[in-house]
Structure 1
């Protein structure tokens, strides 16, 4: 596990310090004066100025870094910039470069699990897309843990398999919904989850969840399909979950889900009784994957 702060400490700061030491020496300052300004030892100044410290080429070549070093170096040398002001200027640049920029890209290169974001994230942003998607994955994993540990869950899995999905708060398409690649299947009486959650892998359950959200249920962020049985629907109703039926043979999923929700606006259970070549299915919906998984477990 590699933290963004480690990238700053191990790659960014040594490079910037060496650039500043070099700049200040070229402006005629002694090693002692440079050491005092940068708060480091004279031997460290010597190493920085003589190129004995490894420098990151991308930081070294970044025009914004070079401009900052030149500006701060001139200010320190002339006495027009205080050490505190220089520190603030460098901190400001670091925060800029952490936000979908150079430091984020270096972080991704050092921590391959971030691959695919293209450095297009701010790891410190609590509402950033990276953190939002990882929170969804974490919630989904917790829900799947409930499913795996629920004795007898395999009895709820329809022939087409089950899936448990959760979407981001502002989801507007299947790529914003995480699910289980390949679905959850009954393998010798055991619910089997073949892979870690991914986004954009569930079309069927994700489409129903999105249809519900587009028809007034933005509070719903998770859904799961289980087999249909009148007793299952009755059991869910007995537990206090309102249900609504929709037509299995539809041309427009939004239309049939919307009609069902207009009739029963608070429905957390949607189901259809099948059709020609269509297996009957029950859908459980909730605020997150854990809540939906608990609904399923309550049936066992």
Structure 2
């Protein structure tokens, strides 16, 4: 059985990065600028933007709104690289409260019956 955190690392975080990279690109940033800001390589940004990486999840409107607002702050310079981890963690916590993580856990990790692992880790 895979723990939920493994599902987050393999699926949720790449999808957050993908959506964030696309939003920043739409706001006029260049791939190299995005790579520096997100602390990833420019080829990784290219893969996120072209859906070769991080495209396996559909986030709900509320999660998409969090990502858009984060991108807006980054693009305007109101937020910086130091804000990356807290905001990604906030988005990840939101995803943990949605059924999408449980569905992924069932599909990819063979989740046990009556699992509440995701919900029990919300304060971390």
Gaps of 5+ in 2: none
TM norm structure 1: 0.37
How far, CA to CA, are the matches of 1:24 and 1:93 in structure 2? 16
Q: Which has the higher strand share?
A: 1
C-alpha change, 1:61 and 1:55, in structure 2 (3 Å) is same
Q: Give 1:122 shift.
A: 3.5
Q: Matched residue pairs, number?
A: 121
C-alpha change, 1:107 and 1:113, in structure 2 (3 Å) is closer
Gaps of 5+ in 1: 127-300
- Which 4+ runs in 1 deviate beyond 4 A? none
C-alpha change, 1:79 and 1:56, in structure 2 (3 Å) is same
Q: 1:51 is paired with a residue of what secondary structure? A: coil
* Residue 172 (structure 1) aligns with: none
* Residue 29 (structure 1) aligns with: 29
TM norm structure 2: 0.81
8 Å Cα contact 1:100/1:122 also seen in 2: no
Q: Give 1:62 shift.
A: 1.7
Name the structure, 1 or 2, with higher relative contact order (CA <8 Å, separation 6+).
2
- CA RMSD between the two structures: 2.3
After superposition, where does 1:222-241 map in structure 2 within 5 Å?
Answer: none
8 Å Cα contact 2:18/2:53 also seen in 1: yes
How far, CA to CA, are the matches of 2:60 and 2:14 in structure 1? 15
